Structure 1
Amino acid sequence: MRICFFSESYEPLLNGVAVSVGLLVKRFREMGHEVYVVTSAFPGYRDEDEHVYRVPAIRTWADPEYPVPLPYLSRVPEKLKNLDLDLVHTHTPWMLGWLGLRIAMRKRIPIVSTNHTQYTEYVHYFPFAPKSAKQRFIIGLMRRYYNRCSGVIVPSAYVQSMLRDFGVRTPMYVIPTGNELGTKRDPQARASVRAKYGIPETAQVLLYVGRVAREKNLGLLFAAFDRLAQTYASLYLFIVGGGPWEVQARRLASSLKAASRVVFSGPVSRKEVAAYYSAGDIFTFPSMTETQGLVLSEALGAGLPCVAVRAGGSPEMLVEGEDSLLSENDVDDFAAKIKLLLADSSLYHRLSSNAEKNASRFSTSEMVRRVLTVYETVLSRDEALASCDTSLTEG
């Protein structure tokens, strides 16, 4: 099969979308499929892969980490005309998504799109209009885009329900992203990472891995940690990752009573981050805007019980009371759930053991198999419609 992916997020970006796209590209090529990628250019980054097409992009003040692509200022659209493709798979409803749709329509081939992001919760990056107006605009654009697709893949039933509420009528398929990191307990990595950042071997460590951004609700985690740190003298908070809110996060952490026990790693490469999970004891995830929460499956693989806010797609990744505890978006409740694990070693070890077992639910092989099934479904439906059109014309 010859497939072309369109995504604003791809190497060298480090986020859940880039991970998902990279995983599919790698696995499909290993299976013998021919895969192309259209994505944004990054200053100083060069691809060794000749099947990756970079379009010009500009950095904006809103979020400099995510360049805005300008596909029609390049020859890429012309080059794509000459590709013999079976299917287009977009990972964005924005500029590159519409380019992918245009290519699919021109070639009369199916287009599948994956919705990775709860875009309505990111409007704070564009402050020059009322929040409600921005959200209405985004919902309308998403509805128009996804209703032109042959199929839509979503990472959770939560997102499926959200898109249905937005008026998306296209067939949808719930397929969570698999854990390709293969996280596991690693005592050597645990000792090494802790030593690198000056975290004592005997410390109890609350771990957060992910983008340090306003929408991740990290203020809740900082407040809960500061409250618990007054009781637990060996408690540390380890923030792994970077992002646009890192300066503010460090400033907020410095104001805590237990500021000396908050450790920031800064950006960590995808190749290195698996080891960082072993440095933690409890995975704490306050985000309310996740469509899935890929880091939750990675934490489970490392045997970390999770404490997460009951919002978005996060609850679907976890089995409450078995490998995790869920909290309301409330400091008292979030701190109380963490305290249960700190105070009850039998509960902690039971959830930790179950976490490792339950991580197997997020198999990359199963993810790839199910995505290919979606491709085969839309291709067969497209062929049936084409056959019907031909019959009507001939009749």
Structure 2
Amino acid sequence: MISDFFFPQPGGVESHIYQLSTKLIDRGHKVIIITHAYSGRTGVRYLTNGLKVYHVPFFVIYRETTFPTVFSFFPIFRNIIIREQIEIVHGHASLSSLCHEAILHARTMGLRTVFTDHSLFGFADVASILTNKLLKFTLSDVDHVICVSHTCKENTVLRASLDPLMVSVIPNAVVAENFRPLGYPNVYQDSSVTSPIDVRPPPPQHLGPHDTITIVVISRLFYNKGTDLLIAAIPRILASHPNVRFIIAGSGPKAIDLEQMLERNVLQDRVELLGPVRHEEVRDVMVRGHIYLHPSLTEAFGTVIVEAASCGLYVVCTRVGGIPEVLPNHMTEFAKPEEDDIVLATGRAIAALRANKIRTERFHELVRSMYSWTDVAERTERVYDGISGVLSEEEFYGYHAPGGWSATRGRAGVQSFALIDRLKRYYGCGIWAGKLFCLCVIIDYLLFVFLEIWSPRANIDIARNWPKKVTAPAVEKLTFETEVPIRKRSNRQREKNWES
């Protein structure tokens, strides 16, 4: 797994990479993560479950994105790949420079590659045009693409001119046990509860006409997250509903504008600003509220609204991007990305809660049944099997793909490693861009040949793998007869190690 965005920075992409990696490790795979160095984190770190993270020291330019150099990352990337005996490189996020460079280098080294897109982009502004051209360069030579929603898939297919057959939709998920409502039994620690069917949600909370309703907002305070809409809507919502207060957590360049609005309207006693919070603290903030407000202007999925619903909050969100695909209608109140409509939608949500029309205490079990990282890992594993040849074309795609085997792609959806075929694919990216992309690939290939001669693979030490867990069925198969020799053998080995 490779991306510029990973812990300790909080966020949806960061959480996605970590949760997916740990579940793949549980399924018997070896997973490492490559990201750039953060303040106080450089070198190799081990996380839970033996997950190894390489923090590569590279210059960061904007929003934790490294400076794109194209080729300077290749030597250390090749060293890590050979040391860890990697077979598949999985990049995340369109704005990650490390991700794009790693996919290019991995294809040059003859490795299978997968790309996951977590964002939506436009087609008209300069930044989107440049990003889309970069994405087209990377995805011209990738084996498979994963998107977190169907809207994200449509956006990515159009931006990178992809065959929809080679794009899968695998949504994000949440760890439901980490986002339990107040009063909900902890079924993972209570041994008396044998199955989720035995769990009964807490009794419904009835709100009176004068009870205080708390609206929670947890978001990065950036323009695309709708912070300007939030700033404009808060005074109007509080003026219309005297028994309503806000809790806002997050940081970003719009935090100053938010503080100025509170000063201007004298709302400090009704709006609590928490600043940045760690991901493990999100649940503690959410359970203090009744409504979660998400005024985003663009969103491919919106994991935070799933976390809010799992905590028993009624969600008010904008109908943009992939958000309408995330939760059922009875758990959400949708609004247009406009100030007036957000105020009206929030008013409807407040009225529905005061009338006790919404059974929010049932939301947790619904979210738990809909979203699971184990399911995401299984579906991602199927993608790996498909591009590696473990699954046949009919098994992977569900039917025989039109065109079948071709000279440039090999099996449908799986790219050929031949340099001439790669150049053909890059050459079709544009009149001028195609020639530039081909030049980059040729230089990358020559650099790879030079590295193979200058630093032979035989001189690179192979890293020892983290010991795998012994599964329950394997433990049950051990009998007393097989257990004793194993114990004796391990004791003799310890004696030999001690003598040496």
How far the C-alpha of 1:73 sits from its partner, in A, is 5.9
Q: Secondary structure at the match of 1:117?
A: coil
- 72-81 or 268-277: bigger deviation: 72-81
SS at match of 2:272: strand
Alpha-carbon shift at residue 90 of structure 1 (Å) = 0.5
Identify the residue that residue 108 of structure 1 maps to in structure 2: 110
Alignment-mate amino acid for residue 133 of structure 1 = V
Q: Is the deviation greater in 331-340 or in 178-187?
A: 178-187
The code of the aligned residue for 1:175 comes to I
Total equivalences in the alignment: 362
Equivalent residues in 2 for 1:128-167, closer than 5 Å: 132-166=125-159, 167=161
Is the 2:104–2:138 Cα contact (8 Å) retained in structure 1?
Answer: no
- Report SS of the residue matched to 1:255: helix
Which digits, 9 at most, give the CA deviation of each residue in 1:326-368, with x for residues without a partner?
1012222211111112123376552524533431312111111
Which residue number corresponds to residue 194 of structure 1? none
Cross-structure match for 2:87: 86
Tell me if the contact between 1:81 and 1:103 (Cα under 8 Å) persists in the aligned partners.
no
Residues 114 and 144 in structure 2, CA contact (< 8 A), matched pair in contact too: yes
* Map 1:246-265 → 2, pairs under 5 A: 246-256=255-265, 258-265=267-274
Partner of 1:56: 57
* 1:86, distance to aligned residue in structure 2 (A): 2.0
Equivalent in the alignment of 2:313:
304
1:275 to 271, 284, 302: 284
For the residues of structure 1 that align with 2:275 and 2:68, how far apart are their CA atoms? Answer: 26
CA distance in 1, matches of 2:333, 2:410: 52
Match of 1:229 in 2: 238
Q: How far, CA to CA, are the matches of 2:359 and 2:55 in structure 1?
A: 44
- Tell me, yes or no, if the aligned pair for 1:307 and 1:324 is still in contact at 8 Å: yes
Is 2:178 the partner of 1:176?
no
Residue number in structure 1 paired with 2:489: none
CA distance in 1, matches of 2:2, 2:24: 15
> Residues 382, 133 of structure 1: CA spacing in aligned structure 2 closer, same or farther, 3 A cutoff?
farther
Aligned-pair distance for 1:239?
A: 0.9
Q: Which residue of 1 aligns with 2:328?
A: 319
Letter in 1 for 2:9: L
DSSP 3-state at the match of 2:125: helix
For residue 257 of structure 1, report the CA deviation from its aligned partner.
5.1
5 Å-filtered alignment, 1:1-395, equals 5-46=1-42, 47-49=44-46, 51-60=52-61, 62-63=62-63, 65-68=64-67, 72=72, 76-82=76-82, 83-93=84-94, 94-120=96-122, 132-166=125-159, 167-169=161-163, 171-180=166-175, 182=177, 183-186=179-182, 203-256=212-265, 258-320=267-329, 322-345=330-353, 349-350=357-358, 352-353=360-361, 355-360=363-368, 361-380=370-389
- Name the SS of the counterpart of 1:12 in structure 2: coil
Q: Is the Cα–Cα contact under 8 Å of residues 171 and 376 in structure 2 kept in the other structure?
A: yes
Q: What SS does the corresponding residue of 2:31 show, helix, strand or coil?
A: strand
| Contact 1:42/1:67 (<8 A) preserved | no
C-alpha displacement of 1:231 = 2.9
CA 1:387 to 1:139, structure 2 compared with 1: closer, same or farther past 3 Å? closer
**CA displacement, residues 46-70 of structure 1 (integer Å, 9 cap, x when unaligned):** 553283222223243x43x555476
Task: Tell me, in whole angstroms, the C-alpha distance in 2 between the residues paired with 1:11 and 1:262.
Answer: 29
Q: Which amino acid aligns with 1:302?
A: C
> Deviation digits for residues 101-124 of structure 1, max 9, x if unmatched?
234213322211000122559xxx
Letter in 1 for 2:103: L
Using the size of structure 1 for normalisation, the TM-score is: 0.83
Q: Which of these two proteins has the greater Rg computed from alpha carbons? A: 2
Give the corresponding residue for 2:400. Answer: none
- Matched residue, 1:197: none
Secondary structure of the equivalent of 1:6? coil
Deviations 1:296-336 (A, max 9, x none): 1101101111111110111111222x111110122222111
Q: List per-residue Cα deviations over 1:188-212 (Å, max 9, x = no partner).
A: 9xxxxxxxxxxxx953111111212
Contact 2:316 2:333 in 1 (8 A): yes
TM-score (norm 2): 0.66
Between the aligned partners of 1:85 and 1:153, the Cα distance in structure 2 is 20
For 1:348 and 1:272, the matched residues in 2 are separated by 28
Cα gap change, 1:113 to 1:343, in 2 (>3 Å) = same
Q: What's 1:393 paired with?
A: none
How much identity, in percent, do the aligned residues show? Answer: 21
The letter for the 1-side match of 2:371 is F
CA distance in 1, matches of 2:183, 2:358: 19
CA RMSD of aligned residues (A): 2.9
- Equivalent position amino acid for 1:102 in 2: L
Query: AA paired with 1:264?
Result: L
* Structure 2 unaligned residues grouped into runs of 5+: 185-209, 394-404, 417-500
